[in-house]
Structure 1
Amino acid sequence: MVQVILLLTVVIYFLGCKGAATSKDAIVTNDRSIIGVLSQEQSFYLHTKYPEENYTSYIAASYVKDVEASGARVVPILIGKSREYYKNLLKKLNGVLFPGGATYFKQSNGYADAGQYIYEIAMEMNDAGDYFPIFGTCLGFELLIILASGRGTPENRIRCYSYSNMPLDFTPDFRNSKMFVEAPHDVVDILATEDVTVNAHQFCIVDENLVAFNLTKDWLVTSYSNDDYGVQFIASIEHSRYPFYGVQFHPEKNSFEWKLSKNYPHSFKAIKANRYFMDFFVNECRKNFHTFANAAEENTYAIYNYEAKFTGVLGSQHHECYFFEPRGVNKLI
């Protein structure tokens, strides 16, 4: 009897080890992810602070830090380039972040044109079985929906004013989404009950925008919020087929933006809950296996080639910013 028990124990042990090894080996991820962050047209305010340099574009450093805090590196994606530039760069990157900001979509050779190239190339990659994620924050989220709508006139978004911190009103089926299926219960509880999401927008996407362009089959709404005048807008969304995600609020600001007048929530709970979004996105990017040719090429493209400037001390809403492609003194000033 003892021998039988010992034999069974040995069999169970080896089966368990084999099963565990098989499960572990099946999960292969790219743990050296590099994510592109799209730049945008230089803001008028920041241009007045750096008139001699006449920079063409910038990225708020909070987005870069947010990506890095989740375990990935950043490559800046410049605006005003050819489709070939974006196609070649996306072959080296593992995902792209469309950041928030204050530029217009009708400007040529800027944020929106670059975003359209990236969006179309990413769809082509995913259709070919090459898993390539995109995440849009605030303006970036609006751009995703407008690109899906065909980027026509008038733009498929509405005027909407929200400068408040608020909770999320989750949809009944939000747990069926890729973004929230594995979200920890305590994170969901914080997001659903406390004023921890930072809103700062003058436009938004509402259900009618999705209906008007037949987007309800392709895009899954997972939460809503209300603007300062009671308008219900879509707060989080994802594509049903592609790994494309968007949030109208700003998860990066809780940890990395500090302007006193903005009253961003910096509590432990607020930071914990908002960290979830970039952690989720970077984990999605780990499913992509694009690489640069070598470490030297990585270094050539990396954000580390640029110096973040302390713009908060100049009155900017962004504590730090990266600037790109200076073109000398603007003669119009």
Structure 2
Amino acid sequence: MLRSVVFLPVIFIQWSCALPTKWKPDPINNRPIIGILTQEVNDHVMKPFGKTYIPASYVKYIESGGSRVVPIRLTQSTAEYEKIFRSINGLLFIGGSSNLETSNFARVARIFYRLALKANDAGDFFPIWGTCLGMQLLTVLVAGENLLTKTPAENMSLPLNLTTEAFSSRMFEGFSSNLMNALSQEALTGNFHHYGVTVETFKDNDKLQSFFSILSTNKAENGATFVSTMEGKTYPFYGVQWHPEVSRFQWDPKLTFPHSPDAVRVASLLAEFFVNEVYCCRRNLHYFSQPEEEAMSLIYNYTPTYTGNFTGYEQIYFF
């Protein structure tokens, strides 16, 4: 009896690339530390407490993103700052009222800015974030001159006038379309400033124009249109003229801190972005050489002072 034979076609598949024998992920820093530059005390109400300070809201803001904090004093040597730079994974310039050209705050910021430029040029990603005065400081450092003019928006919550660059930006990449709409329509950003960089001045300055992308603008009380959000085009440097930290951590009833769910969500996402973004702190592998030195450098060694509401902050770290 004959049996039928079925011939099945044999398919040879040639892999375009072989799987590695062992997958090796890029190193990720799961214990990031961000430095916060202290600032001189200029307010006479605060002078009895110390010479420099950091509002606790900035510390909580960074910690809420999943990082620890090291306060950076203004009285150390350049060699000590270089050592700190090699030990931290990012840097925050806070808001305040220091002179952006002659103060120790500006002097030390300039040291770290130059170190960050050099590191990033060598492929060592080191992020810097500037809030309010900190953003203004970034424009001075990049432009090499003070281009600030009066753009008063004191004690005002505003929606952002988002540019087209905002929708392709790194900063807002994690924002849903609904939240981006809310950010452009609802008063989610707390503004407490007298000066800023106008859009016209920004665009007329080749250094600023080539270094930063404008992500949002706003109109000041005097009618001037100022840059309210920006990010570096090739460097992981970010600036906001408004205060994301206040939405979650400051509660003075005399001040218009936006506390809506959307405002809180915006603050949360930006804190997480700064710590987690691929160009930012978790890809930066700087570290303290000794665990004991790390432990002694952290903000945990200091106790914030409760100042009530007479300073605009409930809690402040003084140094």
TM-score by length of 1: 0.84
Contact 2:62 2:69 in 1 (8 A): yes
- Bigger drift between 64-73 and 285-294 goes to 285-294
Identical pairs, percent: 35
Aligned: 1:175 with 2:167: yes
Corresponding residue of 2:112 = 118
Which amino acid is the alignment partner of residue 159 of structure 1? K
Matches within 5 A, 1:19-168: 26=25, 28-50=27-49, 55-108=50-103, 110-151=104-145, 155-163=146-154, 164-168=156-160
Shift of 1:48: 4.4
Corresponding residue of 1:219 = 212
Corresponding residue of 2:192 = 200
Contact 1:165 1:196 in 2 (8 A): yes
Find the aligned partners of 1:267 and 1:309 in 2 and give their Cα distance. 27
Contact 2:100 2:106 in 1 (8 A): yes
Contact 2:34 2:90 in 1 (8 A): yes
Q: Secondary structure at the match of 1:273?
A: helix
Q: Secondary structure at the match of 2:270?
A: helix
Contact 2:37 2:73 in 1 (8 A): yes
User: Structure 2 stretches of 5 or more lacking a match?
Assistant: 1-7, 14-18
Aligned length: 298
Candidates 253, 271, 280, aligned match of 1:278: 271
Matches within 5 A, 1:243-254: 243-254=236-247
Find the aligned partners of 1:113 and 1:76 in 2 and give their Cα distance. 16
Shift of 1:87: 1.2
Superposed CA offset, 1:99-143 (max 9, x none): 1111112334x1111111111110011111111000000000000
Shift of 1:197: 0.2
Superposed CA offset, 1:250-282 (max 9, x none): 000011111110021212221112222111111
Which amino acid is the alignment partner of residue 199 of structure 1? N
Shift of 1:49: 4.1
Shift of 1:146: 0.6
Shift of 1:179: 1.4
Find the aligned partners of 2:93 and 2:237 in 1 and give their Cα distance. 11
Find the aligned partners of 2:178 and 2:48 in 1 and give their Cα distance. 43
TM-score by length of 2: 0.88
Find the aligned partners of 1:143 and 1:209 in 2 and give their Cα distance. 15
Find the aligned partners of 1:76 and 1:63 in 2 and give their Cα distance. 11
- Bigger drift between 209-218 and 265-274 goes to 209-218
Find the aligned partners of 1:47 and 1:126 in 2 and give their Cα distance. 37
Contact 1:188 1:273 in 2 (8 A): no
Runs of 4+ in 1 over 6 A off after TM superposition: none
Superposed CA offset, 1:170-223 (max 9, x none): 112322222123322233122111101000001111223323431212211011
Find the aligned partners of 2:28 and 2:167 in 1 and give their Cα distance. 24
Find the aligned partners of 1:140 and 1:241 in 2 and give their Cα distance. 19
Find the aligned partners of 2:167 and 2:54 in 1 and give their Cα distance. 32
Corresponding residue of 1:15 = none
Greater helix percent: which structure? 1
